[in-house]
C-alpha cells in the first residue's frame, strides 16, 4: 500500500510540474534507498494506473534502488548496506506490513545501530528523490 501512496505523490507532483512547464513527461527516474524495502513491481504498477489522464500518460517509470553509505557520527565508522541488512530484516519481521521505513526511510536511525559502537547517531542519504525527468 505504501507503494501506492508514493506513486500517487509522485504522479501528482510531476503532473503539476508538467502543467506549469507546458510539457508532457516521457520518462521518470525515481531513486529510493534500499532500506525502504519498496516493491518495485507494485510501485510501477501503481504508477502506471495512476498516470492515466495526466501529463504522465506516456511516461515510463524507472526505479533506482540505491544502497546508502552510512557513517556513525559517534565513532566515525563508515559502513555499507550489507552491515545494516541483518537489522533491517529483523525490523521487517517485527513490523510486517507496518514496517515504518516503507513510508519514511529517514526514520532509519531510530531503528538501526552502528555495527561498531551501537550508536543510533547515523548519517546517510535516505531521501526519496526524482533523479531525472525526460519531457516531450
Partner 1 sequence: MRPLLESAREKLRRRKVVAVMSGKGGVGKSVVAALAALAKPGSALVDLDLEGASAPRLFGLSGRLHEISKEGIEPLEVGGVKVFSLGGIVGDRYVVLPGYGQAGAVEALLAFAKLGDSDPVVVDMPPGMGEELLALSRITDFLPVLVTTPSKASYGVVKHLAEYLAEIGKKPAAVVLNMAYVDCGGSRIYPFGRGEDARRLAESFGAPLYELPIDPSLEDYVGRIHEYRGPIAYVVRQMVEGL
Residues at the interface with Zn ion (CB under 5 A) = 72, 74-75, 77, 114, 116-117, 119
CB of 104 to partner 1, least distance (A): 4
Which residues in the 103-132 window bind partner 1 by CB under 8 A? 103-110, 120-123, 126-130
Burial of 22-54, coded b for 16+ CB within 10 Å and e otherwise, reads: eeebeebebbbbbbbbbeeeebbebbeebbeeb
Q: What is the 3-state secondary structure (H, E, C) of 32-51?
A: EEHHHCCCHHHHHHHHHHHC
The three cell numbers locating residue 110: 531510530
Q: Which stretch binds partner 1 (CB under 8 A): 4-12, 18-26, 53-61, 77-85?
A: 4-12
From 32, 23, 2, select the one nearest 98 (Cα to Cα).
2
Nearer to Zn ion by Cβ, of 43 and 114: the residue is 114
Which residues are near partner 1 by CB under 8 A?
Answer: 1-2, 4-6, 8-10, 12-14, 16-17, 30, 46, 73, 95, 98, 100, 102-110, 120-123, 126-130, 133
Amino acid at each position: 500500500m505504501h507503494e501506492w501512496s508514493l506513486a500517487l505523490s509522485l504522479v501528482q507532483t510531476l503532473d503539476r510540474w508538467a502543467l506549469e512547464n507546458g510539457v508532457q513527461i516521457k520518462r521518470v527516474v525515481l531513486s529510493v534507498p534500499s532500506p525502504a524495502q519498496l516493491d518495485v513491481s507494485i510501485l510501477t504498477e501503481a504508477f502506471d494506473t495512476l498516470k492515466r489522464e495526466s501529463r504522465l500518460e506516456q511516461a515510463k517509470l524507472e526505479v533506482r534502488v540505491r544502497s546508502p553509505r552510512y557513517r556513525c557520527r559517534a565513532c566515525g565508522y563508515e559502513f555499507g548496506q550489507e552491515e545494516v541488512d541483518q537489522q533491517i530484516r529483523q525490523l521487517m519481521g517485527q513490523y510486517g506490513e507496518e514496517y515504518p521505513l516503507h513510508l519514511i526511510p529517514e526514520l532509519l536511525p531510530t531503528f538501526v545501530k552502528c555495527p561498531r559502537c551501537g550508536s543510533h547517531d547515523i548519517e546517510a542519504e535516505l531521501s526519496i528523490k526524482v533523479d531525472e525527468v525526460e519531457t516531450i
